[in-house]
Amino acid sequence: MRRLALARAALVAPIAAAILGPQPVSAQSEAIDRAVEEVADTIIEIRHHIHQYPELSNREFETAALVADHLRALGLEVETEVAHTGVVGILRGDRPGPTVAARADMDALPVTEETPYPFRSEVRTTYLGQEVGVSHACGHDVHTAALLGVASVLSSMREELPGTVVFIFQPAEEGPPPGEEGGAPLMIEEGVLKNPRPEAIFGLHTNPSLEVGQLGYVVGPIMASSDHFRIRLHGKQSHGAAPEKSVDPVVMASQVVMALQTIRSRNLPPLQPSVISVGIVRGGERFNIIPNEVLLEGTVRTYDNDVRDTIVQRMDEILAGITAAAGGSYELDYQRGAPPTINDEDLARQAVPSLQRAVGAENVIEVDPLMVAEDFAYFAQIVPGFYFQLGTTKPGTTSGFNHTPDFMADDSSVPVAIQAMSRVVIDYLEANSPSTGR
C-alpha cells in the first residue's frame, strides 16, 4: 500500500499543475493521466523484477523476454534478437501521422548493490574473469519499465493516436564485452531506424541529483563523447642505482601525465569544455629496478568532434616530443567511443512545453551538461533527438550517484517518467500530423 501511495502521490503534482495552470486540461491530458494511474502499479512491479534480476550487457535474455511478452500482450508488432538481445515494438495509431521513436536501455553493471531495497539484487556472475555482483546502478531498470508503461498508455489510446511509435529496448548501453559488438551502433546497423524511419527519437535518464517530480533538460549538447586511450612508453631497463644507464619510462610517464593537461589549458578555447584523465599508470616489478615500459590509460570527454581531433593530434605531438627528448619511444592506441549526445535545438524547444505540462513549469529545470557519455548519441546522429533527465531521489532522502553501490531510484519516479515521455511523444505526433496542417 505504501508503494501504491507513493506512485499515486507522484502523479498528483503534475495533474494538479495542469489543472491549476493557465491552460485548461484537455480531454487528451485527462486520458493520459487516467492511463498512467491505471498502469503505474503494474509497471512498478515490473521495475522491481527487472531490478532484482539484472543482466549485464549483451546478456539481457530474461529482461528481453519480459519486454517482448509485455509488448505482444499490448498488440504491438514485436521484433526480438536485434543486436543480440534488443527488442523493438511498433505501435501504429489509427490516425495518420508521423513516426517517432522512444528508446530505453536494459543492461546492468558489474556493481554489488548496497541499498535497503527489499527487491535489491543478489545476483553474482563472472565478468572479465572475476566474480562480481550485478545491479542496476545506473537506473536502466527504471528506463525499461517506464518505456513499457509508455507503450501501455499509448496503446490504450491507439484509436486517437496520430502516427506510429517505435519502442526501442536497447542492450549493451554500458558497452559490449571485449571482442563483441553491441549497443546502439549494432541496432542501427541492423536497421532499427528503418521501416519505419522515425522523424525524431526521445529518451530519458535517471538523475539522482534531481528530486522525484523534477525533470532536467539541455538545448544542445547534454552529454559528452567517451574516448579511451592507451599509451605504452618504451625505455631501457636498468638498476635503480644506475639511472644513467636507463631510458626511464617512469620519468617520461610523469612528464606525459602533466603535459596532457596543457592541452586543455593551452590548446583549446577556455569556454570549450573537455576532460583528459589518466586513470591507470602501471609499470615496474621491483622497487630498485627502472622498468623497460610503463602503461598509461585514460579517457577523453568533449562535446565537439573537432575538439576530439585536436586532442588526438596534440597527444601525438606531446608523446613524440617527450619520448624523443628522453631517448625512448611510444605507442598510442586511441579508440573513439560514443559521440557527444546533442539535443536537436528545434526538437528540444518543442518538447520542453510537454515536460512542463507533465510536471509543472517550475519543476522543469535547464541543467548543466554532463561529462558522462551515452550511446543514445548514435541514434541522435541519424534522426533529431531529445534526451532529458528524470529526477529519482525521493525528497528527504539521499542517493549515491549513478554507477555506485548505493544508487537508488525511488519507485515514485516511474509514473513521472511514464507521464513525461507519453506527453512528449503524443504532443509531437499531434503537432506534426496532417490534421494540424503540417
Distances (CA, A) of 395 to 90, 213, 283, 295, 392: 36, 10, 47, 45, 9
Is the domain of 8 the same as that of 142? yes
Whether 173 is a known active-site residue: answer yes
Integer Cα distance of 143 and 150 in angstroms: 11
| CA distance linking residue 395 with residue 278, whole number of Å | 36
Neighbours of 387 (CB within 10 A): 25
What pLDDT is stored for residue 69 in this prediction?
98
**Whether residue 215 is found in the same domain as residue 235:** no
Q: Is the pLDDT of residue 25 over 50?
A: no
Q: Sorting pLDDT into bands at 50, 70 and 90, what band is 435?
A: confident
Say how many domains are in the chain: 2
Q: Please, which pLDDT band fits residue 10 given cuts at 50, 70 and 90?
A: very low
Task: Let me know whether 23 and 124 are in one domain.
Answer: yes
Q: How confident is the model at residue 436 (pLDDT cuts 50, 70, 90)?
A: low
Report which of 295, 300, 293, 299 is spatially closest to residue 281, judged by C-alpha positions.
295
Instruction: Report pTM.
Output: 0.91
Read off the C-alpha cell for 160.
Answer: 486517437
In this prediction, residue 4 carries a pLDDT of: 33
Of the pLDDT bands very low, low, confident and very high (cuts 50, 70, 90), residue 27 is: confident
- What is the DSSP code (8-state) at residue 109? B
What's 283's domain CATH number? 3.30.70.360
The 10s digit of each residue's pLDDT in 270-301 is: 999 999 999 999 999 999 999 999 999 999 99
Percent of the chain topping pLDDT 90:
92
The answer on pLDDT for 40 being more than 50 is yes
Cβ–Cβ < 8 Å for 355, 388 = yes
Task: Give the three-class secondary structure for 360.
Answer: coil
55, 105, 173, 427: the catalytic one is 173
Domain C-terminal end among 295, 310, 336: 336
Contact call for residues 13 and 7 (beta carbons, < 8 A)? no
Same domain, 9 and 143: yes
Q: Are residues 350 and 403 in the same domain?
A: yes
- pLDDT, one tens digit per residue, over 83-129 is 999 999 999 999 999 999 999 999 999 999 999 999 999 999 999 99
Average pLDDT over residues 417-437: 91
Average pLDDT over residues 371-384: 97
- 188-233 pLDDT, tens digit per residue, is 999 999 999 999 999 999 999 999 999 999 999 999 999 999 999 9
The pLDDT of residue 388: 98
pLDDT, residue 143, reads 98
List of E strands, 52-170? 77-82, 86-92, 95-105, 124-127, 130-133, 162-170
Q: Which three cell numbers stand for residue 139?
A: 537506473
Query: Which residue in the block uniquely carries the three cell numbers 549497443?
Result: 183
Per the structure block, which three cell numbers stand in for 64? 528481453
Domain co-membership, 370 together with 321:
no
Given a cut of 90, whether residue 19 has pLDDT beyond it is no
Catalytic residue among 33, 55, 107, 410: 107
For residue 41, count other CB atoms closer than 10 A to its CB: 13
3-state secondary structure of 19: helix
Half-sphere exposure of 178 (CA within 13 A, CB side): 3
The answer on 238 and 330 residing in a single domain is: yes
Predicted pLDDT at 387: 98
Distance of CA 334 to the CA centre of its chain: 22
Q: How far apart are CA 47 and CA 68, in angstroms?
A: 15
- One-letter identity of residue 430: E
Place 2 in a pLDDT band, splitting at 50, 70 and 90.
Answer: very low
Strands 227-234 and 329-336: antiparallel
Q: What is the pLDDT of residue 194?
A: 97
Model pLDDT, residue 28: 81
Phi, psi of 294, deg, nearest 5: -135, 140
Question: What is the domain extent for residue 276?
Answer: 227-336
**Please, what sign has the CA dihedral across residues 178, 187, 348, 342?**
positive
Residues 168 and 313 occupy one common structural domain: no
Cell of 155: 496503446
What b/e readout covers 87-101, taking b as 16+ CB neighbours within 10 angstroms?
bbbbbbbebebbbbb
> 326 pLDDT exceeds 70?
yes
